[in-house]
Chains A and B, each alone.
Chain A
Amino acid sequence: MFLPVTYVQALQCRECGRRVDVAATHACGFCFGPLEVVYDYDAMRGVVTRERIAAGPPTLWRYADLLPVLDGPADARDAARVDLGAGFTPLVPAPRLGATIGLDDLWIKNDTLNPTGAFKDRVVSVALTAARRLGFDTAACASTGNLAQSVAAHAAASGMRAIVLVPSDLEQAKILATAVYGPTLVAVKGTYDDVNRLCGELADAYGWAFVNVNVRPFYAEGSKTIGFEIAEQLGWRLPDQVVAPMASGAMLVKIEKAFRELINLELVDDRTCRVSGAQASGCSPITAAYKRGGDAILPVRPDTIAKSLAIGDPADGYYALEAVDRSGGVMEDVSDPEIIDGIKLLARTEGIFGETAAGVTIAVLHKLAAQGRIGRGDRTVAVISGTGLKTTDAVAPTVGPTFEITASLDEFQAALSLQEPA
């Protein structure tokens, strides 16, 4: 039986380094910097092995040793687990897309195949598991849509109450796909950043587990599993390049952290993997800071079809800049028409229908390949973070039936300019 061990020591401020005990808190009590989980890596060394991980379940929980599993009896840790089977999604070769854009060793991390169709299931599974261990019975979040659906689904499956807040202009599919799980769904007239600000105040006032506010140190760690999986699925080897979408920037930061943890634990060879970030030009506060060459993130008012990435005030932006710099990666952004082309290109070459964030990643990947910033022979992984079925509005104006006919052989042949069958 696979029993997780807790290696969690404390929470630590990423800005000033002050440490606090593990609790449902996300901001440093002194300087408001974000808190991060601290692990005892020395205790893991030699214990957390490739074999131990491979013996775990085919979900993100195979990496439980490297996740914020909170202390307590093993049976209590298991009972608290909130698990719809997120993670361990396919890493597939993408030769046809690669041939189109000039990359010979391209792979897709297909996170559309999570339980609610987005990578958010990873962070929510980890966040709600921690929240239950911390005694919460209500799960909450601010969301651009994917997180709302994931919180609602995981809360429903674990008997928690769910209160989710979203901007009222979200894609209809995301609203419906969240509401069906029966949460209290609050549509807020405003941007994601307005919703987020409200949630920051609510998290102070009520005893709810806001997954991306007071439970955020645990939540954010869930994204490391994308990095762990990429390495394991490549035979415990880091790729040369990873391209990931950025909203808050947290996912990219955690992928780069995952690679460093694997190197630290000698689970992979110490080699550089360049991690690059992708944004939509209509909401690109992180890539703008990168291009300016400074470290100041200036908030923007989002105006893009990539609503899942429409965070104008990205709190992990500073750390995304650092992670990209440390790994030798780059950042780039793309226009809405390029995003739509990216969605269609991925679908038509590899049979994977990603959402607008996927269009951002593919369009940026295309750009970086064309510019030579990703080499033709580089083993490259593109992170496709969510399913296109939730953002059909984006492609609706440009795709549809090729022909509409009555059920007549003649009309069919005429429409397709076919000859009589022999």
Chain B
Amino acid sequence: MTATVRIPTPLRSATGGAATVAVDGTTVGEVVRSLDAAHPGVAERILDDNGRVRRFVNVFVDDEDIRFAGGLETAVPDGATVSIIPAVAGG
């Protein structure tokens, strides 16, 4: 089960500059672990000390915000795109 992870600019220093990374995983949590295995140090940027997604990190599986789905347990279908996007505000 392969997913494409879209890496935001501030995180690309940890992915050797890559804007997208293909990794294995059936849940968002597994995808993050796979990403960290391929690019050590990425996980601590996305997850806090308690292993939860950081307050200012949004994760989407295709177009679904994982906070509306199952959080780190959200299923990642084969071929899905996982987007990591820093929170932004405005209005």
Contact = CB atoms under 8 A, between A and B. Distances in A.
Nearest to A190: B63
A316 B87 CA distance: 10
Nearest to B9: A204
Contact of A27 (B6, B56, B68, B91): B56
Contacts of A298: 67
A144 B91 contact: yes
Given A299-B67, A299-B68, A31 B56 contact: yes
Interface in A373-417: none
B39 to A, nearest CB: 15
A80 B42 CA distance: 39
B41 to A, nearest CB: 10
A197 interface: yes
B26 interface: no
B90 A204 contact: no
Interface in B1-39: 6, 8-10, 13
Contact of B55 (A15, A25, A146): A15
A391 B67 CA distance: 31
A314 interface: yes
A118 to B, nearest CB: 11
Interface residues of A, number: 45
B56 A201 contact: no
Given A27-B86, A313-B87, 20 more contacts: A25-B10, A26-B86, A27-B56, A28-B56, A29-B13, A32-B56, A32-B86, A32-B87, A33-B56, A143-B90, A144-B91, A146-B91, A196-B89, A196-B90, A212-B91, A249-B89, A299-B67, A308-B91, A311-B91, A313-B65
A200 B67 contact: no
Interface size on B, as a range, is 20 to 34
A228 interface: no
B88 A199 contact: yes
Interface of A: 15, 25-34, 141-144, 146-147, 192-193, 196-197, 199-201, 203-204, 211-213, 216, 247-250, 298-299, 308-311, 313-316, 318
Contacts of A309: 91
A248 B91 contact: yes
Contacts of B88: 26, 142, 196-197, 199-200, 203, 212-213, 216, 315
B58 to A, nearest CB: 7
Interface of B: 6, 8-10, 13, 45, 54-58, 60, 65, 67-68, 83, 85-91
B6 to A, nearest CB: 8
Contacts of A147: 90-91
Contacts of B65: 193, 299, 313
Given A15-B55, A31-B54, A204 B89 contact: no
Contacts of A201: 6, 83, 85
Contacts of A211: 90
Contacts of A310: 91
A32 B6 CA distance: 15
A197 to B, nearest CB: 6
Nearest to B65: A299
B90 A197 contact: no
14 contacts: A32-B45, A32-B57, A142-B90, A143-B91, A146-B91, A201-B6, A201-B83, A248-B89, A299-B68, A311-B89, A313-B58, A314-B89, A315-B88, A315-B89
